[in-house]
Amino acid sequence: MFRLVLSILLATSLAAHADAPQLKAGTLSPAMPAPALGLAGTDGKPLDLAHYRGKVVLLAFGFSNCGEVCPITLATLAGARKKLGADSADVQVVYVTVDPERDDAAQMRKFLGAFDQAFVGGVGTRAAIDAAQKNYGISSSKKVHADGSYSIGHSSSIYIIDRAGRLCAVMPYGHPVDDFVHDLKILLRG
């Protein structure tokens, strides 16, 4: 009898641990519905996150003239999808521009396609982009150089939206491919 009780307790304890795998990303609790973007997609369709229900969405903000942060982020996300193999079909990367003055659909499509043809960009008017940034707490600031060109400093985290369309986690900039693979495997299982 004692052994039976002990076995049940042990099994329950193990199950509890098995039920709660920890993400490498920051976890938002409770997960809430991801705010709508209200933008156009680089695939020629309205960028509606509900369209990706059933997939895990990796959502980030950046711009095509970005020299460092965006290429690293996009290369990391492309690397994660590649490592996932067939499971990558259930992972959608959405990259929204913070530079609508220069990034139209064609420009973003070309930029994102250099990393992964399956990536979808988000474009729109300045007002629409500002609204999307506000909904996701994304800050950006323009820095004008002496020659008149400019760069944009911007939040560089990657939001993770689960299969049910809930904003459930956020990966700070700088995490390696394997951290994304780790978390995506957990989220795709769930």
Asked whether position 157 contacts another protein by CB under 8 A, the answer is yes
**Piece in contact with another protein (CB under 8 A), picked from 18-26, 69-77, 96-104, 109-117:** 18-26
Applying CB under 8 A, among 6, 12, 173, 178 the residue interacting with another protein is 173
Q: For residue 103, what are the contacts with CB-CB under 8 A and spacing of at least 6?
A: 63, 64, 97, 111, 121, 123
**Dihedral in degrees, nearest 10, Cα atoms 16, 163, 97, 133:** -60
Applying CB under 8 A, among 7, 12, 27, 125 the residue interacting with another protein is 27
**Category of 54 on φ-ψ map: left (φ > 0), alpha (ψ -120 to 50) or beta:** left
Applying CB under 8 A, among 40, 49, 152, 171 the residue interacting with another protein is 171
**Token pair for 51:** 């369209």
Instruction: Output 81 or 182, the one with its CB closest to another protein.
Output: 182
**Piece in contact with another protein (CB under 8 A), picked from 11-19, 48-56, 121-129, 130-138:** 130-138
**Piece in contact with another protein (CB under 8 A), picked from 10-18, 48-56, 141-149, 171-179:** 171-179
Please work out, in degrees rounded to the nearest 5, the angle formed at the alpha carbon of residue 27 by the alpha carbons of 22 and 188: 65
